[in-house]
Structure 1
Amino acid sequence: MFGLVSLGYARLGDNRTVGTGERDMTSRVRWLLVFGLIVVTGAVGWAVYLGHVTPPTPPVARARVHKGPIQPAFTEDQLKQFLRDARQAEAIPDPLQRCLAYPEPPGVRWSKAVTSAYCHYLLDPAVTEAQARELIESGHVAELEQKLAAAQQAQFTQEGAQSLLDRTYNIAFAGNTDDARALMDAWLRQAPNSAYALAASGTAYVAMAQRQRGSAYTRETSQSSFEAMHRLIERARDDLDRAVALDPKMTPAYAAMIHAGALDSDRAYAFQAAKGALAVDPASFPTYGRLVWMSQPKWGGTVAQMQRIVDAAQKHAPQNPLLRLLLSERSGGEDYVENCACDPLDEDDLYRHVFAEAAPLRMLMSAGWAAANRNNIALSVVYRSELLRFDASQVDHRESRAFNLIMLGEPAWALDEGTALVKLAPRDETAYDVLGQAHRALGDASQAANDFEQALRLNPTDTWTLAAVGDIYVNVTHEWDKAWTVANRLVQLNPDDPQGWFMRASIQRAQPREGLEQTVSDFAARFGKVPGNDALVAQMRAIKQR
């Protein structure tokens, strides 16, 4: 999916966006650093440790006074009802109907008009990708363009059809693959002077350019990738400029032009395209959304500039409720959400105020990750559930939510999610980790071990999974040889991480097995010289004395 949706991942310059799934996995590994403080407490400590959650980050010191009564974001009963309703809605097969039936978040009052419009924007094109392909490949592009012309007319004249042509292009014509490119070329061969075909071709070129650019830092992106991106953008601009020259009301072309200008650091081109778009559609959600995105401080803009654009958009919200999605970005967008030095009360305030109304996908992505990173599991589940409501393809977030569901007392739902994820992504080791974690929470440690072992077959170096299956070998099945192999593997993979050392010492103490004194001595020699490690060394020595 393209347009405003994908812009949440399109980072320019030296600002690298790590996909939230990748960040969660990094956080998961970071959490293992507290292994030594937990393993000595036995199986109960391990149950806590296996929570797939980052410990709370110490907040940055600041003068903060909370005035008035302290109120949680929502009650426990509200959360439970939300989870019941969300699970029920997620059982609906049709994506659009599932989105429309989904509950609004607990404790805030999202407008049904806004969420309904967003569901349609993301999931209800006038022509699907499959339908467009069939018409192009069968030589019936005239019929395809008749459907697009009807959508364009409806976008400007019919209530409830806001951005209908734009969303159709986002969904049907924004493929970044060679196959999608070939389809656009076939369309152009049949209709070389069609504004619809040129807009679709340019949109696809921009998507390919974004793929070439990727999300890495500039210094980590090859010169050949930049050169390929620039060549694709040049082709995109040629097609898009021709499209709006032929039809000044071709709004999807303007949206792609803004994105192309942002990728190429040509702000003048992007803002000129925005001016053209707003001249023909003053209530254009894709245009205002891209302008807000481009105006973030990380792209050279300011929060004040973002606020001015959001406020300008709200003047047209009565005509297009999608514009109310942008209210969540008045404080600075996803950077504000991710970098908030929030204590628990601040986190609740952020939820009530920043997310008082429905938000774009990229805001929900950032909020879900940030809440989990600050150890607010309930809020993270709410954010990610709403994200999956609008875009069920976000597998990383779905996996992360499944781990968090276990922590909220929903292991059966997490097990169902793990089963579905394994079918959806059978080569993804994290899907098997979800299954293993859910089986462990439900008391089936044997099946959990099988799940973790399958994950290790897919990724033998995943230290979290090694520690998880090692826990079962040590504390449940007492398969000492297997546990010993896991402990040594952990030490081999990362000798400066204490987790493998603690597992080795625990096996030597519990089995018992020779060499405990040497392990403690080696551990003290490796970690004792590092400032701040006194507690770790003391915990290791305590194992020998038990």
Structure 2
Amino acid sequence: MTTRVRWLLLVGVALVGIAGLFALLLPRILQPPMAVLPHPLPIHAITHFEPQKPPFTDAQFQQFMVDARKAETIEDPLQRCLAYPDPPGLNWSKAATVAYCHYVLDPLVSREEARDFIQSGRTAELDRRYANILHAQLTQPNSQAVLDRTFNADFSGSSEANRALMDAWKRQDPKSPFALAASGISYVSMAWDARGGEYADKTPQSAFDDMNRLLQQARTDLDAAVQIEPKLTSAYATMIWAAGLSGDVAYGVEAAKHGLAADPANFSIYGRLVWMAQPKWEGAASETARIVAGAQRHAKENPLLLLLLSERTGGESYVENCQCNPLEEERMYQQLFAEPAPERMLARAGWAAESRGASNFGAIYRSEALRFVSDDIQVRQSRAFELPGLDQMDWAISEGNALVALTPQDENSYEARGRAYEVSGQTDRAIQDYQQALQLNPDDAWALVALADIYVHTTHDWDKGWTVTNRVLQLHPEDQRAWLLRADIQKGQPRDGLDQTIADFKARFGDGPDQQVWIAQMKSKLPSAVPSTQ
């Protein structure tokens, strides 16, 4: 679950200088002058706004969870999304929510249909379908983004089969702007995966070379596509994605200028611009706010643009890094997520809320993310971990069973179900799931600590607890929980060496203010006759 975060941080390193370039280039796109645009909500407004009442009651939260679980039984993804409850205490725009459900789940040509057209040699007919969809997007009310959503659903992906399909389409119709744009999307998806998720110093030069080679191939196809069809918005949105990966901000801004000239209310183009301008990519919150404010001029034409309001204070960086106390958590929920948000923003908000101990907010954000992208297994696993602590024990166990069935080779699914079993008092089943997780990943620190904790605090199987705890300390000596478990065994069994454990802990971590809570807990295990090692 950390690979995606690590990759996002890595890409940002390549975009040094983006804020300055946006400051120079963006006014060319966002005309008239920004002074006449709606003023974006400043960061301090969220920081200091005090809600009049809590955003929802416990009864409203529990009803939301009941309704969300019920909606998730609907098999058709689009109908499931449309039936899903909005977050408790918020009044999301129905037009925006319905539009986003269709955007992510309702392509006008399915991936299977496109494949059949290409494999049967009927690419001319496929081109006519896409040309009609593009015409509708540019000319008909309530048809915003219909081509963009269709292209995203049909052609994103880095599989060899997808690449082979794109090559076959181009061979049959080398002058098709739709074939060239689809090929560009495929190449950028491949470049994203080719780079990998490791830090730069652990990534071979060949990975960077592969990424850049694929991005160049993407740009060749995308540039050719818009030469043939200058209004092909899907190509422009993909150009901005490629520009973000390579750090070529000027290329991305130029693509946005031409794309918005063709479709001034285009959600995909504005969304990619906001993504590229985020502070996490060395951009600036002020530039993010300027783009979002500019997009809101067109929200009546395209309600999808309301989704960008959640990013106006800096996008993912803001929700990830907010040093929020409970009141600030409520402010963010009521202000930043007053309208529906892109799935990635909801997922990030879920991670961040969980890390701050706001499990109810985390469950809401993650549930809404799953409303729009139900096959995001990492988000689903993470929500499952939180369900036992939210009075959702039955759902926690059934969700654990479903995740294990879906991903039987993923240790996180067994850990999620194991946690549900452990909290419900089914200790033997919890042990079995944690052991299965360790069969799949013997070095998994979470499963090791969870298993040791059961042995120490539930079954009092001291020898097994000692063995597992020592394994954690061997593999992950930086894990402070393992040191506390060792101290618990030495006091509870009892077993010699508690003084030495405390001394070793201080030697590794120091005894500064940040460590005093851990040291105090270990000292509390000392018999009164044992002198302090201070």
TM norm. shorter chain > 0.5:
yes
Alignment of 1:163-174 (within 5 A): 163-174=145-156
Aligned to 2:111: 129
Aligned to 2:503: 525
Pairwise CA RMSD: 2.6
> Using a 3 Å threshold, how does the CA distance of structure 1 residues 523 and 496 change in structure 2: closer, same or farther?
farther
Aligned to 2:317: 335
Aligned to 2:36: none
Alignment of 1:47-66 (within 5 A): none
- Asked whether 1:438 is paired with 2:420, we answer yes
Instruction: State the 1:368 CA deviation.
Output: 1.0
Cα distance in 1 for partners of 2:245, 2:304 equals 25
> Using a 3 Å threshold, how does the CA distance of structure 1 residues 157 and 467 change in structure 2: closer, same or farther?
same
> Using a 3 Å threshold, how does the CA distance of structure 1 residues 474 and 265 change in structure 2: closer, same or farther?
closer
Aligned with residue 405 of structure 2, among 414, 423, 436: 423
Which AA in structure 2 matches 1:438? Answer: A
> Using a 3 Å threshold, how does the CA distance of structure 1 residues 68 and 352 change in structure 2: closer, same or farther?
closer
Aligned to 1:234: 216
Cα distance in 1 for partners of 2:253, 2:480 equals 53
Q: Do the aligned residues in 1 keep the contact of 2:292 with 2:312 (CA within 8 Å)? A: yes
Instruction: State the 1:246 CA deviation.
Output: 1.2
Q: Which whole-Å deviations, capped at 9, do the CAs of 1:13-36 have from their partners, x for residues lacking one? A: 4279xxxxxxxxxxxxxxxxxxxx
Q: Which moved more, 1:258-267 or 1:386-395?
A: 258-267
Instruction: State the 1:352 CA deviation.
Output: 0.6
**Percentage of identical aligned residues:** 51
Structure 1: tracts of 5 or more residues without a match: 17-61
Aligned to 2:13: 14
Aligned to 2:28: none
Cα distance in 2 for partners of 1:273, 1:65 equals 35
Q: Do the aligned residues in 1 keep the contact of 2:134 with 2:146 (CA within 8 Å)? A: yes
Cα distance in 1 for partners of 2:511, 2:211 equals 46
Cα distance in 2 for partners of 1:469, 1:195 equals 56
Instruction: State the 1:507 CA deviation.
Output: 3.9
Instruction: State the 1:82 CA deviation.
Output: 0.8
Aligned to 1:257: 239
Instruction: State the 1:422 CA deviation.
Output: 0.7
Which AA in structure 1 matches 2:502? Answer: A
Aligned to 1:110: 92
Cα distance in 2 for partners of 1:536, 1:434 equals 26
- Asked whether 1:361 is paired with 2:360, we answer no
Instruction: State the 1:542 CA deviation.
Output: 4.0
- Asked whether 1:397 is paired with 2:384, we answer no
Cα distance in 2 for partners of 1:324, 1:236 equals 30
> Using a 3 Å threshold, how does the CA distance of structure 1 residues 407 and 12 change in structure 2: closer, same or farther?
same
Aligned to 2:531: none
1:543 is paired with a residue whose SS is: coil
Structure 2: tracts of 5 or more residues without a match: 16-43, 529-534
Instruction: State the 1:197 CA deviation.
Output: 0.7
Q: Do the aligned residues in 1 keep the contact of 2:49 with 2:331 (CA within 8 Å)? A: no
Q: Do the aligned residues in 2 keep the contact of 1:13 with 1:218 (CA within 8 Å)? A: no
- Asked whether 1:374 is paired with 2:332, we answer no
Aligned with residue 136 of structure 2, among 146, 154, 165: 154
Equivalences, count = 491
> Using a 3 Å threshold, how does the CA distance of structure 1 residues 384 and 496 change in structure 2: closer, same or farther?
closer
Aligned to 1:469: 451
Instruction: State the 1:400 CA deviation.
Output: 1.2
Aligned to 2:176: 194
> Using a 3 Å threshold, how does the CA distance of structure 1 residues 499 and 314 change in structure 2: closer, same or farther?
closer
> Using a 3 Å threshold, how does the CA distance of structure 1 residues 9 and 167 change in structure 2: closer, same or farther?
farther
| Bigger RCO of structures 1 and 2 (CA < 8 A, at least 6 apart) | 1
> Using a 3 Å threshold, how does the CA distance of structure 1 residues 539 and 259 change in structure 2: closer, same or farther?
closer
Cα distance in 2 for partners of 1:69, 1:256 equals 40
Which AA in structure 1 matches 2:511? Answer: P
Cα distance in 2 for partners of 1:87, 1:234 equals 45
> Using a 3 Å threshold, how does the CA distance of structure 1 residues 69 and 181 change in structure 2: closer, same or farther?
closer
- Asked whether 1:176 is paired with 2:158, we answer yes
When the two structures are superposed, what TM-score results if normalisation uses the length of structure 1?
Answer: 0.84
Q: Do the aligned residues in 2 keep the contact of 1:12 with 1:215 (CA within 8 Å)? A: no
Q: Which whole-Å deviations, capped at 9, do the CAs of 1:91-112 have from their partners, x for residues lacking one? A: 1111111111101111111011
> Using a 3 Å threshold, how does the CA distance of structure 1 residues 495 and 365 change in structure 2: closer, same or farther?
closer
When the two structures are superposed, what TM-score results if normalisation uses the length of structure 2?
Answer: 0.86
